[in-house]
Amino acid sequence: MRHLAPLVAVLLCTACASSTAPRSAPTSAGGPEPAAASAVADRGATVVDLTHPFDRDTIYWPTDTQGFVLETVSQGMTDKGYYYEAHRFAAAEHGGTHIDAPIHFAEGRWTVDEIPLERLIGPGVVVDVTAAAADNRDYLVGVADFERWEAAHGRLPDGAIVLLDTGYGRGWPDRAAVLGTALRGEQAIPELHFPGLDPAAARWLVEERSIAAVGLDTPSIDYGQSTLFESHRTLFAANVPAFENVAHLEALPADGFTVVALPMKIAGGSGGPLRIVAVME
Protein backbone atom coordinates (compact mmCIF):
# COMPACT_ATOMS: atom_id res chain seq x y z
CA MET A 1 0.00 0.00 0.00
CA ARG A 2 2.91 2.32 -0.70
CA HIS A 3 0.70 4.53 -2.84
CA LEU A 4 -1.16 5.55 0.33
CA ALA A 5 1.88 7.06 2.06
CA PRO A 6 1.45 10.62 0.68
CA LEU A 7 -2.27 10.50 1.41
CA VAL A 8 -1.75 9.31 4.97
CA ALA A 9 0.68 12.18 5.55
CA VAL A 10 -1.99 14.64 4.46
CA LEU A 11 -4.79 13.02 6.45
CA LEU A 12 -2.75 12.81 9.63
CA CYS A 13 -2.15 16.54 9.43
CA THR A 14 -5.87 17.27 9.81
CA ALA A 15 -9.27 16.05 8.65
CA CYS A 16 -9.66 16.40 4.90
CA ALA A 17 -12.17 18.90 3.49
CA SER A 18 -13.17 19.71 -0.07
CA SER A 19 -11.01 22.29 -1.83
CA THR A 20 -10.98 23.94 -5.20
CA ALA A 21 -10.76 21.38 -8.02
CA PRO A 22 -8.48 21.90 -11.03
CA ARG A 23 -11.23 22.31 -13.57
CA SER A 24 -14.94 22.36 -12.85
CA ALA A 25 -15.57 20.79 -9.45
CA PRO A 26 -17.59 22.97 -7.08
CA THR A 27 -15.86 25.43 -4.76
CA SER A 28 -16.76 26.25 -1.18
CA ALA A 29 -19.35 28.94 -0.61
CA GLY A 30 -17.50 31.84 0.93
CA GLY A 31 -15.99 32.24 4.37
CA PRO A 32 -12.41 31.63 5.48
CA GLU A 33 -10.48 28.76 3.94
CA PRO A 34 -10.90 25.64 6.14
CA ALA A 35 -7.75 24.63 8.02
CA ALA A 36 -7.88 21.17 6.43
CA ALA A 37 -8.02 22.58 2.92
CA SER A 38 -5.13 24.88 3.72
CA ALA A 39 -3.05 22.01 5.08
CA VAL A 40 -3.73 19.92 2.00
CA ALA A 41 -2.79 22.82 -0.26
CA ASP A 42 0.41 23.42 1.70
CA ARG A 43 1.42 19.85 0.92
CA GLY A 44 0.81 20.35 -2.79
CA ALA A 45 -2.38 18.28 -2.82
CA THR A 46 -5.90 19.01 -4.00
CA VAL A 47 -8.98 17.22 -2.68
CA VAL A 48 -11.93 16.88 -5.07
CA ASP A 49 -15.34 15.98 -3.66
CA LEU A 50 -16.96 13.32 -5.87
CA THR A 51 -20.20 13.18 -3.88
CA HIS A 52 -23.63 14.59 -4.69
CA PRO A 53 -25.43 16.10 -1.67
CA PHE A 54 -28.34 14.17 -0.19
CA ASP A 55 -31.52 16.22 -0.30
CA ARG A 56 -35.06 16.17 -1.68
CA ASP A 57 -33.69 16.25 -5.24
CA THR A 58 -31.42 13.22 -4.83
CA ILE A 59 -32.01 10.61 -7.53
CA TYR A 60 -33.04 7.16 -6.31
CA TRP A 61 -34.04 4.13 -8.36
CA PRO A 62 -37.45 4.95 -9.84
CA THR A 63 -39.26 2.25 -7.86
CA ASP A 64 -38.29 4.05 -4.65
CA THR A 65 -40.90 6.78 -4.39
CA GLN A 66 -39.83 8.15 -0.99
CA GLY A 67 -36.34 9.37 -1.83
CA PHE A 68 -34.27 11.11 0.83
CA VAL A 69 -36.28 12.48 3.75
CA LEU A 70 -34.85 14.90 6.31
CA GLU A 71 -37.14 15.61 9.25
CA THR A 72 -36.46 18.48 11.62
CA VAL A 73 -36.49 17.42 15.25
CA SER A 74 -35.36 20.71 16.75
CA GLN A 75 -34.40 24.08 15.30
CA GLY A 76 -34.17 27.25 17.30
CA MET A 77 -33.30 28.80 20.63
CA THR A 78 -33.77 26.69 23.73
CA ASP A 79 -35.26 27.91 26.99
CA LYS A 80 -31.67 27.97 28.34
CA GLY A 81 -30.62 30.57 25.81
CA TYR A 82 -28.55 28.62 23.28
CA TYR A 83 -29.29 27.56 19.71
CA TYR A 84 -29.89 23.84 19.03
CA GLU A 85 -30.63 22.05 15.75
CA ALA A 86 -31.09 18.32 15.05
CA HIS A 87 -32.68 16.20 12.34
CA ARG A 88 -33.49 12.60 11.53
CA PHE A 89 -33.25 11.14 8.04
CA ALA A 90 -34.65 8.18 6.15
CA ALA A 91 -33.51 6.77 2.81
CA ALA A 92 -33.09 3.59 0.82
CA GLU A 93 -29.60 2.06 0.64
CA HIS A 94 -29.30 2.58 -3.12
CA GLY A 95 -29.62 6.20 -4.17
CA GLY A 96 -27.54 9.31 -4.61
CA THR A 97 -23.79 8.76 -4.48
CA HIS A 98 -23.69 5.32 -2.92
CA ILE A 99 -21.92 1.98 -2.69
CA ASP A 100 -23.17 -1.37 -3.88
CA ALA A 101 -21.75 -4.05 -1.60
CA PRO A 102 -21.08 -7.43 -3.24
CA ILE A 103 -23.92 -9.02 -1.24
CA HIS A 104 -26.31 -6.89 -3.33
CA PHE A 105 -26.16 -9.45 -6.16
CA ALA A 106 -23.94 -12.26 -4.83
CA GLU A 107 -25.05 -14.45 -1.95
CA GLY A 108 -22.44 -14.90 0.75
CA ARG A 109 -20.20 -12.07 -0.43
CA TRP A 110 -19.25 -8.97 1.57
CA THR A 111 -21.83 -6.72 3.18
CA VAL A 112 -21.03 -3.00 3.48
CA ASP A 113 -19.40 -3.34 6.89
CA GLU A 114 -17.27 -6.29 5.73
CA ILE A 115 -15.58 -4.57 2.78
CA PRO A 116 -11.87 -4.12 3.62
CA LEU A 117 -10.54 -0.57 3.55
CA GLU A 118 -8.03 -1.70 0.91
CA ARG A 119 -10.99 -1.97 -1.49
CA LEU A 120 -12.15 1.56 -0.64
CA ILE A 121 -8.87 3.47 -0.70
CA GLY A 122 -6.51 3.13 -3.63
CA PRO A 123 -5.01 4.55 -6.83
CA GLY A 124 -7.71 6.01 -9.05
CA VAL A 125 -8.07 6.07 -12.81
CA VAL A 126 -10.72 7.69 -14.99
CA VAL A 127 -11.77 6.06 -18.26
CA ASP A 128 -13.43 8.83 -20.29
CA VAL A 129 -16.15 7.61 -22.66
CA THR A 130 -18.11 10.85 -22.80
CA ALA A 131 -17.76 11.28 -26.58
CA ALA A 132 -19.06 7.81 -27.42
CA ALA A 133 -21.80 7.92 -24.78
CA ALA A 134 -23.04 11.34 -25.91
CA ASP A 135 -24.42 9.76 -29.08
CA ASN A 136 -25.76 6.62 -27.40
CA ARG A 137 -27.67 6.67 -24.12
CA ASP A 138 -27.34 2.87 -24.01
CA TYR A 139 -23.57 2.88 -24.44
CA LEU A 140 -21.70 -0.07 -22.92
CA VAL A 141 -18.18 0.65 -21.69
CA GLY A 142 -16.25 -2.19 -23.27
CA VAL A 143 -12.90 -3.94 -23.19
CA ALA A 144 -11.78 -1.76 -26.13
CA ASP A 145 -12.27 1.36 -23.98
CA PHE A 146 -9.96 -0.06 -21.31
CA GLU A 147 -7.43 -1.15 -23.91
CA ARG A 148 -7.37 2.37 -25.35
CA TRP A 149 -6.82 3.76 -21.86
CA GLU A 150 -3.95 1.35 -21.27
CA ALA A 151 -2.39 2.19 -24.64
CA ALA A 152 -2.19 5.83 -23.51
CA HIS A 153 -1.43 5.44 -19.79
CA GLY A 154 -0.08 1.96 -19.17
CA ARG A 155 -1.61 -1.11 -17.56
CA LEU A 156 -4.32 -0.54 -14.96
CA PRO A 157 -2.50 -0.59 -11.62
CA ASP A 158 -3.15 -3.44 -9.23
CA GLY A 159 -5.65 -2.36 -6.61
CA ALA A 160 -6.98 0.41 -8.85
CA ILE A 161 -10.34 2.05 -8.28
CA VAL A 162 -11.61 2.40 -11.85
CA LEU A 163 -14.00 5.31 -12.47
CA LEU A 164 -16.04 5.52 -15.69
CA ASP A 165 -16.88 9.02 -16.89
CA THR A 166 -19.90 8.73 -19.20
CA GLY A 167 -20.83 12.40 -18.98
CA TYR A 168 -24.33 11.65 -17.73
CA GLY A 169 -23.54 12.77 -14.20
CA ARG A 170 -23.32 16.33 -15.55
CA GLY A 171 -27.12 16.35 -15.71
CA TRP A 172 -27.61 15.87 -11.95
CA PRO A 173 -30.19 16.26 -10.41
CA ASP A 174 -32.39 16.33 -13.56
CA ARG A 175 -33.95 12.86 -13.54
CA ALA A 176 -34.70 12.84 -17.27
CA ALA A 177 -31.12 13.89 -18.09
CA VAL A 178 -29.58 11.23 -15.86
CA LEU A 179 -32.06 8.35 -16.12
CA GLY A 180 -33.55 8.99 -19.54
CA THR A 181 -37.01 9.44 -18.02
CA ALA A 182 -38.69 11.55 -15.36
CA LEU A 183 -41.25 8.83 -14.65
CA ARG A 184 -41.38 7.18 -11.24
CA GLY A 185 -42.52 3.72 -10.20
CA GLU A 186 -42.54 0.49 -12.19
CA GLN A 187 -43.62 2.30 -15.37
CA ALA A 188 -40.22 4.03 -15.43
CA ILE A 189 -38.17 0.83 -15.70
CA PRO A 190 -38.68 0.18 -19.45
CA GLU A 191 -37.81 3.83 -20.14
CA LEU A 192 -34.42 3.85 -18.41
CA HIS A 193 -31.61 4.79 -20.79
CA PHE A 194 -28.13 5.51 -19.46
CA PRO A 195 -24.68 3.97 -20.09
CA GLY A 196 -23.13 1.19 -18.05
CA LEU A 197 -20.36 -1.39 -17.98
CA ASP A 198 -20.45 -4.13 -20.62
CA PRO A 199 -20.68 -7.56 -18.92
CA ALA A 200 -17.77 -8.74 -21.09
CA ALA A 201 -15.69 -5.85 -19.75
CA ALA A 202 -16.71 -6.72 -16.19
CA ARG A 203 -15.40 -10.26 -16.77
CA TRP A 204 -12.19 -8.83 -18.26
CA LEU A 205 -11.62 -6.60 -15.24
CA VAL A 206 -12.15 -9.52 -12.87
CA GLU A 207 -10.22 -12.16 -14.82
CA GLU A 208 -7.45 -10.16 -16.53
CA ARG A 209 -6.78 -7.33 -14.09
CA SER A 210 -6.59 -6.97 -10.30
CA ILE A 211 -8.79 -4.02 -9.39
CA ALA A 212 -10.23 -2.96 -6.04
CA ALA A 213 -13.53 -1.37 -7.13
CA VAL A 214 -15.41 0.16 -10.05
CA GLY A 215 -17.42 3.38 -10.05
CA LEU A 216 -19.29 5.54 -12.51
CA ASP A 217 -21.48 8.62 -12.78
CA THR A 218 -24.75 6.83 -13.62
CA PRO A 219 -27.25 5.17 -11.24
CA SER A 220 -26.17 1.60 -12.06
CA ILE A 221 -23.07 -0.33 -13.12
CA ASP A 222 -25.36 -2.10 -15.60
CA TYR A 223 -26.85 0.09 -18.30
CA GLY A 224 -30.42 1.31 -18.01
CA GLN A 225 -31.98 -1.33 -20.26
CA SER A 226 -30.39 -4.26 -18.44
CA THR A 227 -32.76 -6.89 -17.11
CA LEU A 228 -30.20 -9.49 -15.95
CA PHE A 229 -27.67 -7.16 -14.25
CA GLU A 230 -24.78 -9.29 -15.43
CA SER A 231 -22.05 -6.74 -14.67
CA HIS A 232 -23.26 -6.47 -11.09
CA ARG A 233 -23.28 -10.25 -10.76
CA THR A 234 -19.82 -10.71 -12.27
CA LEU A 235 -18.13 -8.02 -10.20
CA PHE A 236 -19.85 -8.92 -6.95
CA ALA A 237 -19.17 -12.65 -7.26
CA ALA A 238 -15.49 -11.62 -7.18
CA ASN A 239 -16.11 -9.30 -4.18
CA VAL A 240 -15.48 -6.17 -6.27
CA PRO A 241 -17.75 -3.38 -4.92
CA ALA A 242 -19.29 -0.67 -7.09
CA PHE A 243 -19.76 3.06 -6.60
CA GLU A 244 -22.72 4.66 -8.40
CA ASN A 245 -23.76 8.26 -9.08
CA VAL A 246 -20.18 9.45 -8.56
CA ALA A 247 -19.99 13.22 -9.07
CA HIS A 248 -17.58 15.60 -10.83
CA LEU A 249 -15.47 13.04 -12.68
CA GLU A 250 -14.73 15.73 -15.26
CA ALA A 251 -12.54 17.40 -12.60
CA LEU A 252 -10.09 14.48 -12.49
CA PRO A 253 -7.13 13.53 -14.68
CA ALA A 254 -6.86 10.07 -16.25
CA ASP A 255 -4.63 8.88 -13.40
CA GLY A 256 -2.24 10.10 -10.71
CA PHE A 257 -4.68 10.47 -7.81
CA THR A 258 -5.90 8.47 -4.82
CA VAL A 259 -9.56 7.65 -4.21
CA VAL A 260 -10.99 7.55 -0.69
CA ALA A 261 -14.50 6.07 -0.72
CA LEU A 262 -15.98 5.63 2.74
CA PRO A 263 -19.60 4.46 3.00
CA MET A 264 -21.88 4.54 5.98
CA LYS A 265 -20.87 1.36 7.83
CA ILE A 266 -24.24 -0.37 7.87
CA ALA A 267 -23.98 -3.79 9.50
CA GLY A 268 -25.38 -6.35 7.06
CA GLY A 269 -26.11 -3.64 4.48
CA SER A 270 -26.29 -4.29 0.74
CA GLY A 271 -25.37 -0.66 0.07
CA GLY A 272 -25.41 2.78 1.58
CA PRO A 273 -24.58 6.47 1.22
CA LEU A 274 -20.99 7.08 0.15
CA ARG A 275 -18.66 10.02 0.75
CA ILE A 276 -16.03 9.71 -1.94
CA VAL A 277 -13.13 12.08 -2.65
CA ALA A 278 -10.04 12.12 -4.83
CA VAL A 279 -6.70 13.35 -3.52
CA MET A 280 -4.31 14.66 -6.16
CA GLU A 281 -0.70 15.17 -5.08
Q: What is the mean pLDDT of each run of 10 residues along the chain (281 residues)?
A: 53 40 42 52 84 97 95 98 98 98 98 98 98 97 98 98 98 98 96 98 98 98 98 98 98 98 98 97 82
Candidates 112, 98, 41, 37; CA nearest to 68 is 98
| DSSP sequence for 142-187 | -HHHHHHHHHHH-SPPTTEEEEEE-SGGGGTT-HHHHHS----SGG
At residue 66, the pLDDT reads: 93
Q: What is the CATH number of domain 50-64+94-280?
A: 3.50.30.50
At residue 281, the pLDDT reads: 82
At residue 39, the pLDDT reads: 55
SS3 label, residue 135: coil
At residue 4, the pLDDT reads: 57
pTM of the model: 0.88
Domain boundaries defined on the chain: 50-64+94-280
Long-range contact pairs involving 149-156 (C-beta distance under 8 Å, separation at least 24) = 149/125, 149/254, 152/254, 153/125, 153/254, 153/255, 155/209, 156/125, 156/209, 156/211
At residue 93, the pLDDT reads: 97
At residue 44, the pLDDT reads: 78
Given a contact cutoff of 8 angstroms between Cβ atoms, the answer to whether 146 and 204 are in contact is: yes
